[in-house]
Structure formats: structure tokens, C-alpha cells
Amino acid sequence: MPWGLRPPPRRCRRSAPLPQHIIDGLAREIAGAAQSAYVVVTDRNGIRFSHPDPSLIGKKLEEPVAVLDGETHVGFDQGSLGRSANAKAPVFGADGSVIGQVSVGIEDTRVLDTQAQNIWLIAGFSALVLALGVGGSLLLSRRIKRVTFNLEPAEIASLLQEREALLHGIREAVLGLDDDGRVTVINGEARRLLQIEEPALGKPVAELIPEGRLRDLLTGELSGADQVALTEDALLVVNRMPVSTAGRSIGSVITLRDRTEIESLVRDLHSVQGLMEAMRALEHEYANRLHIVDGLLEMGDVEQAKSYVSQISYMSRSLGEGLRARIAPPELAALLLAKITVAAEQDVQIEVTAESRLERPQVDQAELLTIVGNLLDNAVDALANTPRPRTVTVQFDDADGVFIAVRDNGPGVPAEKIDQVVVDGYSTKDPRPGMRRGIGLALVRRIVHRAQGTLDVFPGPGGNFEVWLPANPHLAEKDRRADVD
């Protein structure tokens, strides 16, 4: 059946219309609905049943029927209406054989016009997309230029290389944080001083640093220039500076300096200066004593001169011998003797209790000297500008590890300040030239903590500090082997 055309209802032979009349009407309706130039229906012999030109209906096609092979054909043909683009489809009978052909065509001029319209439409859309792309590229380029401060990609790469070389080539530790406290920049020296081994970029600094004064300085909870913080291995000087661009905050830059060795040298120099001052004072004292002896001899009172010389000789000798009799380590005995002499010049009397004993302390000698020296210095400083008498007592005991107690008759530590006095950087005194305050007790606390000992601070009146250090098993084994040998 051609193109789904239903056969007309059966009528009597005299009233049955001709097939071409029915088919032509349907073809015209289809051509109008499809907006095609023509719809031509023929039988397999090429006889037309429909055509836009009624005079050609019933006549044979100029060209042969193309669909006798049962396939659809598409192309351009030169027909009775001129050259057109058409599609030819077979019409099958009930037995499946080809009984006709349907040809639908569009004038080639119309196709070309449609193609031209499509070309212009595509060209217009392409031009619009191109214009939008160029505009977007220009806006994006301006945005990128503004963000990158009008730097070219080669300049940005060069700046990045220079920044990396600068960050990792300097001895200063540098840490960069954004406004949320997340790490944006960190160099190798900062990792070493802060003991950060894990990836740090993008993480909050509060997660990388344990709780304490150092973390408070890095996060900005504590502020100030050249703030001091103690870690397990170093004394750090911390500076935190806010960074802004175009009036907008973009974070902060933190620099850290390792002052461990320098601070140790400064303290050693301070101790040497104290000893020199003590020696100068002793020089004056001995000069005065020599003048007394010389005056007695000039007056001919030889016996009195002998008695005076014996008395001062015994006093000097007994002090040193008394310390050595109770304090076996010579370094510690020498330190105590020096501190006693220096304190005497400040009108402070340091006494080692009679029951003190330190025969063979099984702790690190350098740590022991640091603890005793700092506790005595703090006690002497605490007695400045206090009424006389000013006394400091020191007690030692090595029955179980090493016990050290330093007490003075000064104002002592207020009960509400006990937890603060051992924090690095805390001090109630004015700083001495070239030396930082708030380090001594913090150093003592760090040494005691590393040795797994205890540091007890008792409230005033009167300063009272007690330290206990457990015996070092390695030193104990060394002493045992020495005794066996």
C-alpha cells in the first residue's frame, strides 16, 4: 500500500473513482503538510498517479523507476519540475513485491537557500560565542593580572623560585599563616626548631604544636616583640607580624631565632662578670686586711698581728673545707663557693645546711650545676631591696636520687603566681642589660621534666623551691663498675 494509504471503500463498479484521483488528493495533502515541492506516486512501470501538474498524471516518468530493488534512494534529479533534491521509497504489495514508488522532492534552490540560512545562522552563533569567549578571556585576564599584580607567568615562576631559595637558604625559621591560622609557608629551619615532621601546609598551627607558651605565641594569643619560648631542646625568640595587602588582612608571618647557645654564653659571661666583681671586692677586702696587719706590725704588736692573720686564714680555709667535706663534686663545691662570695657583696648570706650531703650524685653534672645556679640566682635577686638580715639556705640530699632545696627569707611567691613563675618568659623584675628575664626557672623546669623528676614551688612568705631528680641508671651502672674495678 503506498505510504500507508488505505484503499477506498468498495463501491459499485459504476461509481468507483479512478485511483489517480484518490492518490493525487492524498499526495497534495501530504505535500502541503510536509512543505515539499511535490509528492509523486507511480506504479512499478513509472505511470504517475499524482503530480503537481495535473496534465502529467497518467503519463510515464521520464526516468526509470529507481526503487524496484526495494531500497530507498536519496539524491538530486532533473525531473519535470526542474532539478530537485528528492527521496524515493518503494511501495510494497500484499505479497511483498514492489508495486510502486513514492517520490518526495524539494527544489534545489530552496535547499540551497535553507543551507545558506543555516550557514549564516551557524556563523552568527559562532561569532556570538567567539565574542563571548573573547570578552570572558579579557575579563579573566584582567582578574588574573589584578590578582598577580600584573606579573607575567615567567615573572611569577621566577618569583616562586626566588621565594623557595630564600625560604630554605636562610638560617632564620619562617612560618606563614593565613587568617584562619593555617600554615601556608614553612621552611626547613622552622620544621627543625618546632620539631614538625608531618606535612604541615594547610593544617592549623594549633594542631602541630603542643599546648603551651610557644603555641600561644604562634597563634597570636600572646603578643609582643622578641618573645621568649622554651622547647625541649632550644630557647626560641618569637616574632609575629600581621600581613595585609590593599588594606585587607591575609594572615601573618612568624620568625623564630634559636638563641640557645647565645643565651648560654650570655649567662656564662654574666657569671664570669659576677666572679670578677667578687674578686675585685675580695681584693679590696684583702688590701684592708693587709693594711691592718701592716698597722699592727708598725705599732710593734706582733702577737696581735699573728692572731689576726691566723683568724682570717682559718675563716677562709674552713669555708672551703666545709663545703668539700659535705659536697663531693668539686664543680658544685666551686659553684657554691663562688655564689657565696658574690652574694656576700650584695649583703646576702648563703648557707649550706649542716645536714647536707652529696657524695656521689648519679645525675648529669651539667644539669645539676644549672639547677643550683639558677635557683641561687633567683633567691639572691628576690632578696634585693628587702630588710636585713638577708639569708639563703641550701640543702642537699642524695639518699634517693638527688634532693635540692633552696629557701630564702624574702617575700616569696604569691599563691596565685605559683604556676606562672616556672613559665618561660614570666618575670616580675626588670631585664638586665644583654640578658633575658624569665628563663632561669623555666630552664630548671625543663631539665627536671626531661629527667622525670619533680619541681615544687611553695607560696610565701619566704621563697621555697624543692627539686628532686631520680638517679640516672646509666650513671649508676658506671659508678657500680668503677667500685668493682
Residues 445 and 315 both lie in one domain: yes
End residue of a domain, out of 69, 86, 107: 107
pLDDT tens digits, one per residue of 402-447:
999 999 998 888 888 887 777 765 565 555 544 455 577 878 888 8
Residues 390 and 277 both lie in one domain: yes
Is pLDDT at 231 greater than 60 in this prediction?
yes
Is pLDDT at 310 greater than 80 in this prediction?
no
pLDDT at 435: 47
pTM for this structure?
0.52
The reply to whether 145 falls in a domain is no
pLDDT at 268: 62
The reply to whether 100 falls in a domain is yes
Whole domain around residue 26: which residue ranges?
2-107
The reply to whether 321 falls in a domain is yes
Q: What is the CATH number of the domain that holds 74?
A: 3.30.450.20
Cβ contact 186:196 at 8 Å: yes
Q: Which three cell numbers stand for residue 447?
A: 631539665
What residues does 239 pair with on adjacent strands? 255
Is pLDDT at 10 greater than 50 in this prediction?
no
Query: How many domains is the chain built from?
Result: 3
What is the arithmetic mean of pLDDT over 458-476?
A: 84
What residues does 175 pair with on adjacent strands? 186, 254
The reply to whether 139 falls in a domain is no
Q: Round to whole Å and give the CA distance between 363 and 402.
A: 8
Residues 251 and 340 both lie in one domain: no
- What is the DSSP code string of 324-360? HHHB--HHHHHHHHHHHHHHHHTT-EEEE-TT--BSS
pLDDT at 425: 57
The reply to whether 142 falls in a domain is no
Residues 174 and 88 both lie in one domain: no
pLDDT at 403: 93
What is the arithmetic mean of pLDDT over 244-255?
A: 82
Residues 71 and 39 both lie in one domain: yes
Residues 448 and 406 both lie in one domain: yes
End residue of a domain, out of 258, 277, 309: 258
Q: Round to whole Å and give the CA distance between 180 and 426.
A: 28
CB-based burial label for 281 (10 Å; 0-12, 13-18, 19+): middle
Residues 296 and 333 both lie in one domain: yes
pLDDT tens digits, one per residue of 137-194:
888 888 887 777 777 777 777 777 777 777 776 778 888 888 888 988 888 888 888 8
The reply to whether 88 falls in a domain is yes
End residue of a domain, out of 258, 293, 327: 258
Question: How far does Cα 80 stand from its chain's mean position?
Answer: 84
pLDDT tens digits, one per residue of 52-87:
878 888 888 878 888 888 888 887 776 666 667 788
Residues 378 and 434 both lie in one domain: yes
Residue 267 CB coordination number (10 Å)? 19
Q: How many helices (H) and strands (E) does the chain have?
A: 12, 14
Residues 282 and 195 both lie in one domain: no
Q: Round to whole Å and give the CA distance between 476 and 85.
A: 110
Residues 94 and 205 both lie in one domain: no
pLDDT tens digits, one per residue of 21-38:
678 778 787 877 776 777
Residues 227 and 86 both lie in one domain: no
Q: Which three cell numbers stand for residue 24?
A: 493525487
Residue 4 pLDDT level (bands cut at 50, 70, 90): very low
Residue 233 CB coordination number (10 Å)? 13
Highest mean pLDDT among 47-61, 253-267, 387-401, 438-452: 387-401
Residues 373 and 278 both lie in one domain: yes
pLDDT at 271: 62
Cβ contact 102:86 at 8 Å: no
Q: What is the CATH number of the domain that holds 278?
A: 3.30.565.10
The reply to whether 112 falls in a domain is no
The reply to whether 119 falls in a domain is no
- What is the DSSP code string of 391-431? EEEEEEE-SSSEEEEEEESS--B-GGGTTTTTSTT--SSPP
State residue 131 phi and psi, 5-degree precision: -65, -45
- Mean pLDDT, the chain, whole residue set: 78
Going by the DSSP 8-state scheme, the letter that residue 179 receives in this structure is T
pLDDT at 288: 75
- What is the DSSP code string of 136-155? HHHHHHHHHHHHTTT--HHH
Question: What percent of the chain has a predicted confidence (pLDDT) above 90?
Answer: 6
